[in-house]
Amino acid sequence: MQTVELNNGVEIPILGFGTFQITDAKEAEEAVVKAIQVGYRHIDTAQSYQNEEAVGKGIAKSGVPREELFITTKIWVENVSYDGVKTSFQESLDRLGLAYVDLLLIHQPYNDVYGAWRAMEELQAAGKIRAIGVSNFAVDRAVDLAEFNKVTPQVNQIEINPFQQQIANIAALKEEGIMPEAWAPFAEGKNDIFQNEVLTEIGKKYHKSVAQVIVRWLVEQEIIVLAKSVNPERMAENIDVFDFSLTDEDKAQIAKLNVGESQFFSHSDPQMIKWMASRRIDS
């Protein structure tokens, strides 16, 4: 598996297995086992997914040594404070059955992100976390966090897909040494992405699926990619992307698909912020 180096020297597999919306405990556990069996070594979960315990069971059941795996979890909004991180992170470790995680992210840019970041810096220094970062932060918020704290975020996990390509933001993050990581690379199937004519035609040239074309497009930009499927065949397909390369013409065609806006919601929408503030992960 190809890796990329974060700004603190930690190596992260460029392809990860996402577990968002796999809420059934048995299904989540088995999905993690299958993902590891087909070759994934990077597993992504979060407090708000409410499947950390199942993910941890899957990791243990896989039989793969812990040091060969890269595990990410995220702090939910209600826990984004100094004390909230210290308490909830230990709870996450307990649910996962792990002594440490490889990457911890602030899931959303709300609540006391600066207090939370100081706690994360301390946990990283103590060896409980190998890398720390953020998710869904605008570039200016990520830079602000870096400038007024000891540690620059190692990762910013954001929506990146053919319809929301984030070209300027990706360049700005990389300029700051912050590695972009793509959630929803397939836009969760929106706008008939798997039947998209441009992506389908590119795939035909290489005998690849639309999903494989999208993953390859991101990998060639050195963007970490999270792909999710509970189907073992699709899991294997999604990481089988290292035997072809896209041409400049292919990339130019994909660039034309960009509409430049989220396929889901705006993180600056006051109503969305209020909804996230009210959502409790134990509810």
Q: List residues with catalytic annotation.
A: 49
Token duo for residue 198: 């441009």
CA-based max dimension of the chain: 53
Long-range contact list for 141-144, CB < 8 A, 24+ apart?
141/109, 141/113, 142/173, 142/176, 142/178, 143/176
Q: What is the DSSP letter of 72?
A: E
Put residue 260 in one of left, alpha, beta given phi > 0 → left and psi -120 to 50 → alpha: left
Q: Is 42 annotated as contributing to ligand binding? A: no
CB atoms within 10 A of CB 281: 15
Token duo for residue 138: 């605008």
For the annotated binding site, the residues are 107
Residue set of the binding site for substrate: 107
